[in-house]
Amino acid sequence: MSNEFVPLFYGFNFYLFGLIAIASALLFVTRKSPVAAAMWLVNVMFCLAALYVMLDAQFIGAIQVIVYAGAIMVVFLFVVMLLNLGHAGAVSDLRGNAGRLAAGFVGLAMLAEVMVLARTKFPDAMTLKAVHGLGPVDGTAGVIGPIAGPLFNEYLLAFELTSMLLLTAIVGAVVIGKKRNPDAR
Amino acid sequence: MLAESLALSALLFTIGVVGVLTRRNAIILFMCVELMLNAVNLSFVALSKVHGVGGQVFVIFVMTVAAAEAAVGLAIIIAIFRHRQSVNLEDINLLKG
């Protein structure tokens, strides 16, 4: 929101982390070595965690560092190590001109869509409204409480289904990744 | 800071899409998908400052699904690597008619 007063320090740090995130993301998609790419992606995730904290979502910021930068990226690096892919191949894995053309086209299309959406006046039925009972985030009302309340009340079913999903994913990952023993059958 | 956050989110998402479209390494492709999920999370968090804390709750769900997706996807990559000794997508063309 451009009309609200933004302190200089806050704004400076916001733009700083945003620019670092963009630069790291660009370095991430252009690195040849998977390990270097993963390190730059971790950098993006740390910057996003900083932005979450600045947007009054401190718990999400902590979860971002622990789950994304800590757990998910370690799984990626573990697979890179397991398959011995750490070195960049002799040939670049960048696709040919067709892929670049497609990427440029999709990028332009998305940019055009953002431009159009920014100038569109939506009908009332389509605009976002605050959910009943969930007010705007109050930065002073504690960090975890405002999230835990809806998570265990309004979204309890989704929360329980998430545990089912995780169980299925664990079993699936073990079954798919397990080495098949040719003598077994 | 809402407009800036949404612009940054769109930019990061586009960088992720460009990565998916231009890289051939399956692992880097997965990382690009993670970057796209992160970009969407940023817009959720930014909008939750205005429209209620539901966005932050949804970010937790997105992170859970991302973790499950990474685990299953990387297991599939390992299984394919056992067959083909490669994670290059050009080498994986069994269904390509």
Look up the ipTM and state it. 0.90
Amino acid letter, residue A157: L
- A136, B51 contact by CB (below 8 A): yes
Owning domain of residue B34: 2-89
Q: Would you say residue B95 lies in a domain?
A: no
DSSP helix/strand/coil, A94: strand
A105 and chain B in contact, CB less than 8 A = no
The answer to the question of residue B82 being in a domain is: yes
Interchain CB distance below 8 Å, B53 and A177: no
> Could you report the per-residue pLDDT of B5-46, keeping only the tens digit for each?
999 999 999 999 999 998 888 899 999 999 999 999 999 999
pTM: 0.81
Contact status of A110 with chain B (Cβ, < 8 Å): yes
Asked whether residue B53 is assigned to any structural domain, the reply reads yes
Instruction: Report the CATH number at residue B34.
Output: 1.10.287.3510
- Candidates B13, B31, B38; nearest CB to A76: B31
Contact list in B for residue A99 (CB cut-off 8 A) is: 21-22
Residue B48 lies in a domain: yes
3-state secondary structure of A95: coil
Dump pLDDT digits (tens) for A95-119.
677 778 888 888 888 888 878 877 8
Quick one: pLDDT band at residue A25, thresholds 50, 70, 90? very high
Contacts of A22 in chain B (CB under 8 A): 8, 11-12, 15
Q: At what angle do helices A97-119 and B2-22 cross, to 10 degrees?
A: 160
Structural domain contains residue B76: yes
Domain membership flag for residue B96: no
In a domain? residue B94? no
Domains and CATH numbers, chain A: 1-89 (1.20.120.1200), 142-185 (no CATH)
Q: Which of A3, A67, A80, A83 to mutate to test the interface with B (most CBs of B within 10 A)?
A: A83
Look at chain B and report how many structural domains it folds into.
Answer: 1
What does the H/E/C string look like for A18-76?
HHHHHHHHHHHHHCCCHHHHHHHHHHHHHHHHHHHHHCCCHHHHHHHHHHHHHHHHHHH
